[in-house]
Structure 1
C-alpha cells in the first residue's frame, strides 16, 4: 500500500459515515422533534420554569471533523463511526437560575434512560478552577415507559446540555472565539474568559438570592385577598401561590394562564374561591402521595390538588385543555397515586 493510499483509506471511511448520516437525516430530524416535544412536555408536567428548549441534528461538517480526529498513536478516535457518537442529536435546556438546572436533570432522568451524566461545574469546583459550567446528559429513549410520541425512536441516544442563561451566553461566546481563532488563543484572552466565568458564577448566585428575596417579599398574602370577588387572573393566582407555597418554585408564566382555565373548569372563578381552595388544602397529603423528586412547580402541584379534590370529574372537564394529547392517561395514573393508602 502506498503512502497516499494509507492516508486516503481513513478519509474514505469518514466520508462513508458522513454519507450515511446524510441518508438518515430525515429520520434523525423526526426523532429530534419527538424527543424535544417529550422534554418540553415533561418540564411542563412538572411545572418547571425554563427559558428555552432547543435541539439540533449534528451537521455533516461537524461529524466529518469529529470522525477525522485521531489519538496520539494515529488511530481513529471514533473507530466505529456514527455508532461512537452520542451527540448526533443534541438538545439544550436553558434555565433562569442555577437550582432549576438540577431540577431539570432530575426530571429528564425520570423520562429517559441515563447512559452518562456529567456535572461540568462540579468538576471545575473539584479542580479549584473556573470555566465552562453546565450539566451534560447522555440519554436514550427506552423501550419501557416510552415518552409519548417517541415510540418510533426507541434506542435513539442523544445529548442534553442543561445550563443557565448566563452560563449559556458565556459558553456560546467562548466557543465562537475559539472556533474562529487562527492559531493558539493568547494567554490574555484565556485569562479574560476565566475572569468572566467567575463573574458569571457570582451573577448566577446573586440571581438566586434575588429570586429568594422576591419570594419572601411576596410570601404575605394581601389582607383583602380573602374577600376579593373579582375574576381570577394569572397574576393574582401567582400572587396567591407565592404566599401559600413559597418553597415551591414558580412555573413558566404562560402556565399560570393554563392553570386559570383549569380552575375555571371546576367553577373556581374568583380570587376569593381560589384562596379558599388553596389556603385550606392538605398540601402534605399531595406531596406524600405524589412523592415528588424535587419541589413541584406551582402549576403542577395545584393540578394535582385539583385532581385530588375532584377526581374523575376533573379528568373529564380538563383532559382536553392544553396541547398534551396524553393528559387523560397521565391524570388517571396520578389519580391512582393520590388515592393510594
Structure 2
C-alpha cells in the first residue's frame, strides 16, 4: 500500500507506487531487436561487472538478482556490445536491410515511457483533482471521474502504428512527444446538459490546445461511434506558475467527457468487429443505426425527465411558499420545504431522512401536503417530543410524532415497519406517554380525508 507521499518499498528500495507494476512488466521483455537481430537481455547479476546482485537489489530500478532491469535503468548492459544499454549506439539504427525496424522502435519507446510514466500518473491526478473540485463547486452531479496514465503495452502498440501516408514508417516518429493521451482524465456525466457545463469549467481552468467531438468525426469518416468530447489541455498559466504545479506546466493531458449512455456505447464499441460502414453487412448496419438512434433518444429523454423534475420541484416550492398546497404531492423535496415552513428548518437532517418519511407517509395513505397539514393541525411536535424523549428532537422525529398522535394505531398498522415488534412496542409506549400527558389520540385517515 502506498504511503501518504505516494511511495512504496520494493525489495527494500523506496520507489513510486506504480514502479512494482513496471518492474513486473519488464520481465515480459526478454529480448532486444538490434539491427534486425534478436538479442537476449542481460539479467541483473549476469553483467560483466559486479553490481552487488548477491547482496542487494539494483540501486536504480530495484530488480533483484535474476530479474531483468526496467528498460532505461542505468545498470542494464547492452546484450550486443556489453556497454551501458541506455547510452550505447547499438540500438540507434532503426533500419535493418533497408526497412524500418518497428520492433526496435517499440522497445525504445516503451523504455523511455516507463521512466516517465510516474510523471504522467501524477499529472493526470492533478488534473482530476482540479476538475473534481470545480465540478463539485458548480453543483454538477456526475457518475464518475477517473484518471490514468497510459498502459505501457497500449503505448507500445500505438508507437508502432504505421503512417497512413507511408506504411513503411511509424505514424509517431517520436512517440513520447507525438502521442498525446499519455495522461488522461475521463468524466462520465449523467445528462447531456452537464457536458456543456463541464465544457465551461475546462475552458476556465485549463489552457485548451484542442477540442474535438469524436462522434462527429467518426460520422464524417464513415465509421460507427457515439458522441464524446475530447480535449487536449495544459494547466492554465496562473496555476502552472505555482511551485507545486510548475513541473506539469508543459505536460499535455487528455480529458474525455461523455454521458453514461455514451460511455456504454464506447465500451461496447471496442468489441465491434466492423468499424467501417463500407464493409459492414446491410442487416448489421441497420441494427447499429437503430441502436445508435435509441441511445440518442434515451439520452434526450433522461435529460427531459431531469428538466421536468427540476421544474416540478421549483413549482412545488413556490406553491408551498404561497400556502397553495392542495395539489402538491408528497416528495422528499416538497416535504423538506413544507416542514421548514411549518415547524422550522433543521440543517442536521439528511436527504435520506426526508426520503424515508415521504415513503412512510405514502404507505400510510398520504398523497398531498394538504392532507399532512390537516393531519398534524392542532398538535405541537416540540411538546410531543418532550413527553417521549424529554427534550426537543429533530424535525423528522417531531413530524412523525404528530402524525402518530393524529392517526393513532392506524399509523402503526400502515407503517412500512409495522411487522417489526420493536417498532410496534415502541409506538405503543409513545401512545401511552401521550395519554399520560393529556394528549388526545386522533383517528385521522388520509384515505378518507382526500
Pairwise TM-score range, normalised by the shorter structure: 0.5 to 0.7
- 2:211 and 2:353 mapped to 1: Cα distance? 36
Aligned residues: 238
Preserved CA contact (<8 Å) 2:233 2:253: yes
| Greater mean deviation of Cα atoms: 213-222 or 87-96 | 213-222
| CA deviation profile, 1:183-222 (whole Å, cap 9, x unmatched) | x865544443332111000000101111111112211213
Q: Does 1:217 align with 2:312?
A: yes
What displacement does 1:108 show? 1.1
What displacement does 1:230 show? 4.3
What SS does the corresponding residue of 1:52 show, helix, strand or coil? strand
Q: Does 1:171 align with 2:287?
A: no
Gaps of 5+ in 2: 1-34, 37-94, 324-337, 356-393, 396-450
| Greater mean deviation of Cα atoms: 124-133 or 89-98 | 124-133
What displacement does 1:101 show? 0.7
Of 134, 146, 167, the match for 2:228: 134
Preserved CA contact (<8 Å) 2:110 2:155: yes
Q: What is aligned with 2:139?
A: 47
Of 153, 176, 194, the match for 1:82: 176
What SS does the corresponding residue of 2:237 show, helix, strand or coil? coil
- 1:116 and 1:238 mapped to 2: Cα distance? 45
What displacement does 1:36 show? 1.2
What SS does the corresponding residue of 1:51 show, helix, strand or coil? strand
Larger relative contact order (CA 8 Å, sep ≥ 6): 1
Structure 1's 131 and 198: CA in aligned 2 closer, same or farther, altered over 3 A? farther
Structure 1's 12 and 195: CA in aligned 2 closer, same or farther, altered over 3 A? same
Structure 1's 186 and 63: CA in aligned 2 closer, same or farther, altered over 3 A? farther
Counterparts of residues 119-198 of structure 1 (less than 5 Å): 119-122=213-216, 131-146=225-240, 150-178=245-273, 188-198=283-293
Counterparts of residues 230-249 of structure 1 (less than 5 Å): 230-232=345-347, 233-235=349-351
Bigger proportion of residues as helix: 1
What displacement does 1:72 show? 3.4
Counterparts of residues 25-44 of structure 1 (less than 5 Å): 25-44=117-136
What SS does the corresponding residue of 1:144 show, helix, strand or coil? helix
- Root mean square deviation, CA, Å: 3.4
Q: What is aligned with 1:21?
A: 113
- 1:186 and 1:16 mapped to 2: Cα distance? 41
| Greater mean deviation of Cα atoms: 188-197 or 65-74 | 188-197
- 2:111 and 2:282 mapped to 1: Cα distance? 39
- 1:134 and 1:195 mapped to 2: Cα distance? 19
